[in-house]
Amino acid sequence: MNPTFLFLSRRTVALALLAIGLSACGGEGGTTIGNPVITIESASYANSASLSLPFDRWLGITPAFAAAVTEFRFCVTKLRMTNSDGNPVTQNGSASIEAILGLIDVSGSGNPKRWGSFIAPVNFILKQLDVELHLDPENCSGANYSMRYNGAALTKDLEFHFSFSPAVSIAAGDTLILGLTPIATALEQAATDGKFNNEQIGEYLTTSTLGSGAK
């Protein structure tokens, strides 16, 4: 059987199951009839203007610039959507909703990258989108990591946070544009500090490390 057909069939089944799950959504979830399909993509980004310290600049030391982003991949299977009142969409009692976007490759920072689509609840006002990264070889092209950045891999569960200011109303056919610059900058700093590992990456990817969101 054609592998492309198998992939599309699996994606179709996953979207259908997600639609069923969202019928039980809390908050502003509504029913699955008319639930909008939303596309996610990331804009071009930078991973730092400079890694030099203010004291270095005061002494006239030439700034050290961030390394080029030759590799930046991560596995996405779930999202968390929060409205302006701080209430998340819920699915089967969980604040996370299934969104099998698979292995996302944003290596190189110059061009926008399409991540894929997911089914959102109707009439939802989106204030923050949390993208969950997991080690999931089955849904992420056999990848044995949750994230890889410039040759180094992590296997722990991680999250990227994106704030929408102002909040946006979700409608069918919308595309959410995510800004990765603060996140990529944090990853580059972790690598520079020798702390890009499962135990210490949390010092850099915090709830305050907010990428931007818009549509």
Q: Is the pLDDT of residue 147 over 70?
A: yes
Burial grade of 134 (CB within 10 A; 0-12, 13-18, 19 or more)? middle
The pair of structure tokens assigned to 89 is 């969409």
In contact, 79 and 18? CB cutoff 8 Å: no
Phi and psi at 195, nearest 5°, equal -120, 20
Q: Is the pLDDT of residue 97 over 70?
A: yes
Q: Is the pLDDT of residue 169 over 70?
A: yes
In contact, 39 and 26? CB cutoff 8 Å: no
Q: Is the pLDDT of residue 115 over 50?
A: yes
48 band by pLDDT with thresholds 50, 70 and 90: confident
pTM of the model: 0.78
One-letter amino acid for residue 151 of the chain: G
Q: Is the pLDDT of residue 125 over 90?
A: yes
Nearest partner of 41 among 113, 135, 121, judged by Cα: 113
Phi and psi at 101, nearest 5°, equal -85, -20
User: 């991560």: which residue's tokens?
Assistant: 74
Angstrom distance (rounded) from CA 181 to CA 187 = 10
Angstrom distance (rounded) from CA 81 to CA 87 = 8
* Beta-bridge partners for 103: 75
Model pLDDT for residues 2-20, shown as the tens digit of each residue: 444 444 444 444 444 444 4
Model pLDDT for residues 175-211, shown as the tens digit of each residue: 999 999 999 999 999 999 999 999 999 999 999 999 9
The pair of structure tokens assigned to 81 is 């959507």
